[in-house]
Structure 1
């Protein structure tokens, strides 16, 4: 094999290199592409080396003419509908006294057959791998942490593959790889705990790792074998070899391996939740062939490890979220106890600190700045909030663990505010809740300087000449430990903390909205109470003053007639005094009852309205006396309500019906109901005096009368009581009438009370 060229490699287009369409394969086997009918369309240029047939001569011929009798063992597996897009082991074939493991897959409009040289004549035998795989599966459940799982996997992959060093590393959010587990032979350099910079694996290579889960390079000094012809006859483009086991790799990567002292490597992708979480990276200092069955075993170990990582991370994530949510619920419970949300929040500062695992917390409400823990001073916090407003973060959560990268004034805040989580708590005002995390100075060990940019070759001439002529870059040559001290960075914010902070903000805005609604309801209630208070004042000055004036007047007349012998006159005076006192007492009782309606708590139960109406009619027997009253009562449903309050409301409405139909013979009173999914409506109609609908809006007001007291006595509080009782239940009350022909009073009770 001819060693690779020592000419410098140009890395300027490394990230755009066509790694999926390299146009060649690794030479430890050969490749044939077939049509769906089984005719050879392309062959790798090393075909003559392996089976004595020139690549150009093989093209256009049936497979059997190219590989001879070995084609018979493949005939049943070659139809494209039996193959997938990942290489499948088909058989171990003998061609010209050489043996090959044959892999097949369909991709890019072709059937691709790969023939890997094998040292045995027998088919693949997985039995010797079962003990190693079984031991791994038995021990997986004993390992609780992701690090211990990775260490177990690294050991078993090294035992299966025979590579000298196996590492498991995870990609961080910046793409750097952190080595969390390692298994190696004595004499191999250790990379445990170190980081490989993201630039070592360009983005297109990461995409290919996610697509094709395993990749083997047997010898970094190989000379690629190009495809003949170079274009895919179906597409007219270079062949897409993304899933081919023999796919040639980037010359840049081969030089990288040689610089690292590695001549054979294998990578197994760790896919967690559909994303490239990390790699199992295997290295060997000398070339290392690895048959398909061992590669498959390593790939399956990687899949099991990825599933275990996902399970452990999900469990850890769930536990963390439950704990944070538990704290959030407790905090929200405390925030509903007082009227001022801002003051309430300052009362739970310790809980807010634990919620975000922060070093300090601050509340900014207009000109007020309230702090707890280790925070910047008030002026610095106000400047920070002004910057947040200017950057448009007034309506969204802002978070960073490196504030100095965004905020110009962060250098002075580095000690206690390198990390910031900012939550606006008002859509209208400059109100913020801020959490601060302190700087965590730490040292990162890199496998070589991640910032190095080396130029190959030597240059002559002046310094200005050297600066003006760009030299081609080569892969980095140093993998010696390089330490970097990181400043101005805090512990990162957990994704659950950020998401639950969003929920916390929504809940706070909900509390504020509820308070606003409560204040609006209170204002409405106060307005109504003021009107009722005015009516109370009018009643005291008018309604209550009238019977008291009668009492005083008739008492004076009684005193003046003290010497008179006219007992009839004296009796009339005493009767008027008694009636006036009774009316005044009734007025006071009704006022007290109306006042209690707004204070007493509802105690809803199931109420049989038919029985309740019958009870009310019984109590009205004395008021009815000998009058002729015809009752028409339809079957009434059961409802959920406070029976005492509803009894009082119905009693008032029935008493009104009897009173205002007093001049009718017979008096006719009808009671019926209607019901839908939302409410039950009751109607009480009479054939009495009725009222003018122009004044219906006054009907349910306190001390509002639509008739003269001399015609129909009453205090004017009964219907106000009815309205208040019904509204306490969440219902409504109304009336309809034709003056002189009667009236219908209605009220509704919701099917489900909102208490």
Structure 2
């Protein structure tokens, strides 16, 4: 971005902040930040401002005080060439500068005839609204030399003036020492009664962190000033103009003639003008402080206004352009040093944060989940940003570490954070209670908040908290905006009249979050995302390997099982032949052993058949279609009743089951297995089996809390509930393992122990989860979902 682009950008910002129709008499409590101070249509009285065209040097506008300072009336100058005011040599000097960078040619030494006498002036050029602006200042504003500085500075003089102050400034070690050296150097250079270095806080208020003053003046060191003392549009101008001087605050403004720029028919933008008239509010503010002349030097950090060097004098005081340039140059040096000193002061603390982060990253990198990693190293988790407590929230589940607000308050807090964080990943405040009043009961642990959004889709957040810290602030006068009642009864804003030390106890605030702490939080987010992506890659490789292994295992199981069935049938058949042909010779004991052999071969064939069935379940291509579960359930129950006509079972269906997307054959087997088990492992009379489902908006009331980690509550949950023998808690997962039986084969109707394994496989292939809750001796309930297609 070029300097002209930057200036244009700032001018646009100022225009957006202000209201060009607002005049000083209309200033009130709600609009002081809208005063158009960049287009006052007037200048300070110690100089003349005029605008002219670059092509023919025709004067377009001129200040009304031109007659008093230059001996020509405004009417006599408007529409005339510059030659009406100055000799050809002066015109040539101005013309030679028009195509140059004005910063390199300012100021121009001009000699003008005034009332028949040749007088010396400084000319300063810049462009605004398509015209050239020339500001002409007399080299002195009073007969008293103490009120003016008329030095002319050559390059070598400039070097002499800045060499020693810069050396002292650069040799400082701390920000406080830098500030002290700065105010001392500026006071020595300018002779102002008081020099203050004023640092801005994030809320726009400021504090005097260094002061150099004349004897007899009360000290303002350490005093705070509210953000309203310098409106936002004024701060924008301070950011654009690195130096601003008011030689005599008691001046009478000189209006421009005409009031509107003839080229644009709008007020002339005086953002870059050194003579720009001052807001009446600021003039009254200076008068209330007893200040007759002032100068401010802007201090920037990262192109933002970091602070001001404020210079005050108890009588009018003018400085030459050269002296002001030296001050501006020193201000730029100090701006550079401010950044490096502030970074140096934070360096040790940054190293602590980085060390804590490195330890913490090592911890979570070796854990199965982020939650496990946070739980294993909560000390470093809070130390990463200098917090007292933290909360990790993932998909609504909350884990608290250290001093943190209760978990039940977090869901609404995160909803509020989402409205504040926007597209950014981080949000911070040290006034959480003021911004989010529901946190007031927890101010002792949560007056400050730093929120990090790790994943919006997964609803993953990391919140750090700081407690309330009571602070006593010394203000330079009562900080609230003073008001007066006008004749019509409206409230008018007035500058503060008292600057006596005023103490305030600040509550509901934590220590502010430093920039390095926000950087540490964002760095942690990047590192976490990197670890998650790395684990996802590793998991993808493992899944691919597991899928290949499963395919090979299924193929092996299918082939092996199919090939084993033939010899088993041969053993069974030959055992039958032996009993039939040689039973009388083998005797009772031999016949019994052969019968046992036949039972074992039959048992093995059943196991092999179950293994084949399980293998086919994993290998078969699913045929997804709309399946009416109500009709499917009717068919399943009819089949079971036909196959077990003597059972005394009551089937309860609270409401008709819905239509889902799935494989009809496998869903039939799923319900058959679950209902058959509910009948088989039941010694009640009658046996009661309930088959139903729970819609998403019914989940919280209808599903046991212990299923929170297993089931997706945004899906329909189906269940099969019985009043059977139940399952002990330690066996709940064992029942889903293939061929795992909790009872002897001869008890509860036998079976191979593969039914529930096959049922879970069917559910998983439909993208769902099958789980169980049970009370031993009372019954069991099997819950399952069927994925996003259901």
Q: TM class, shorter-chain normalised?
A: 0.5 to 0.7
Q: In structure 1, what is the equivalent of residue 288 of structure 2?
A: 259
| Aligned counterpart in structure 1 of residue 325 of structure 2, from 271, 276, 296 | 296
Q: In structure 2, what is the equivalent of residue 356 of structure 1?
A: 385
Q: Which moved more, 1:336-345 or 1:512-521?
A: 512-521
CA separation of 1:23/1:86 partners in 2, compared to 1, >3 Å: closer, same or farther? farther
How do residues 276-675 of structure 1 correspond to structure 2 at under 5 angstroms?
A: 276-314=305-343, 324-364=353-393, 370-376=399-405, 380-389=406-415, 392=418, 397-423=426-452, 432-455=461-484, 469-493=489-513, 494-507=517-530, 509-510=532-533, 513-514=536-537, 516-517=539-540, 520-521=543-544, 523-524=546-547, 527-528=550-551, 530-531=553-554, 534=557
| Aligned counterpart in structure 1 of residue 100 of structure 2, from 79, 82, 91 | 82
Distance 1:520 1:324 in 2: 37
How do residues 133-144 of structure 1 correspond to structure 2 at under 5 angstroms?
A: 133-144=162-173
| Aligned counterpart in structure 2 of residue 117 of structure 1, from 131, 138, 162 | 138
How do residues 156-175 of structure 1 correspond to structure 2 at under 5 angstroms?
A: 156-175=185-204
Distance 1:42 1:495 in 2: 50
Q: In structure 1, what is the equivalent of residue 620 of structure 2?
A: none
CA separation of 1:543/1:434 partners in 2, compared to 1, >3 Å: closer, same or farther? farther
The SS at the match of 1:301 is helix
Q: In structure 1, what is the equivalent of residue 32 of structure 2?
A: 14
CA contact (8 A) 2:151 2:323 kept: no
Q: In structure 1, what is the equivalent of residue 73 of structure 2?
A: 54
CA separation of 1:402/1:513 partners in 2, compared to 1, >3 Å: closer, same or farther? farther
Shift in Å, 1:288: 1.0
CA contact (8 A) 1:397 1:502 kept: no
How do residues 690-701 of structure 1 correspond to structure 2 at under 5 angstroms?
A: none
Residue 35 in 1 paired to residue 53 in 2? yes
CA contact (8 A) 1:402 1:418 kept: yes
CA contact (8 A) 2:42 2:253 kept: yes
Shift in Å, 1:18: 2.8
Q: Which moved more, 1:161-170 or 1:317-326?
A: 317-326
Shift in Å, 1:274: 1.8
CA contact (8 A) 1:92 1:122 kept: no
Shift in Å, 1:138: 1.3
CA contact (8 A) 2:417 2:451 kept: no
Distance 2:151 2:432 in 1: 63
Shift in Å, 1:439: 1.5
Unmatched tracts of structure 1, length 5 or more: 1-7, 460-467, 546-755
Q: In structure 1, what is the equivalent of residue 243 of structure 2?
A: 214
CA contact (8 A) 1:132 1:156 kept: no
With structure 1 as the length reference, what TM-score do the two structures score?
A: 0.63
With structure 2 as the length reference, what TM-score do the two structures score?
A: 0.60
Q: Which moved more, 1:534-543 or 1:406-415?
A: 534-543
Q: In structure 2, what is the equivalent of residue 737 of structure 1?
A: none
Q: In structure 2, what is the equivalent of residue 102 of structure 1?
A: 123
Shift in Å, 1:83: 5.1
Distance 2:66 2:455 in 1: 73
Q: Write out per-residue CA displacement over residues 47-97 of structure 1, whole angstroms, 9 at most, x where no aligned residue.
A: 222232222112233333323x4x513413335223537981111425324
Q: In structure 2, what is the equivalent of residue 91 of structure 1?
A: 109
The SS at the match of 2:484 is coil
CA separation of 1:40/1:433 partners in 2, compared to 1, >3 Å: closer, same or farther? closer
The SS at the match of 1:100 is strand
The SS at the match of 1:262 is coil
CA separation of 1:448/1:524 partners in 2, compared to 1, >3 Å: closer, same or farther? same
Distance 1:518 1:332 in 2: 23
Distance 1:294 1:402 in 2: 43
Distance 2:61 2:457 in 1: 69
CA root-mean-square deviation: 3.5
Q: Which has the larger radius of gyration?
A: 1
CA separation of 1:186/1:432 partners in 2, compared to 1, >3 Å: closer, same or farther? same
CA contact (8 A) 2:365 2:531 kept: no
CA contact (8 A) 2:445 2:467 kept: yes
Q: In structure 2, what is the equivalent of residue 692 of structure 1?
A: none
CA contact (8 A) 2:387 2:464 kept: yes
Residue 64 in 1 paired to residue 80 in 2? no
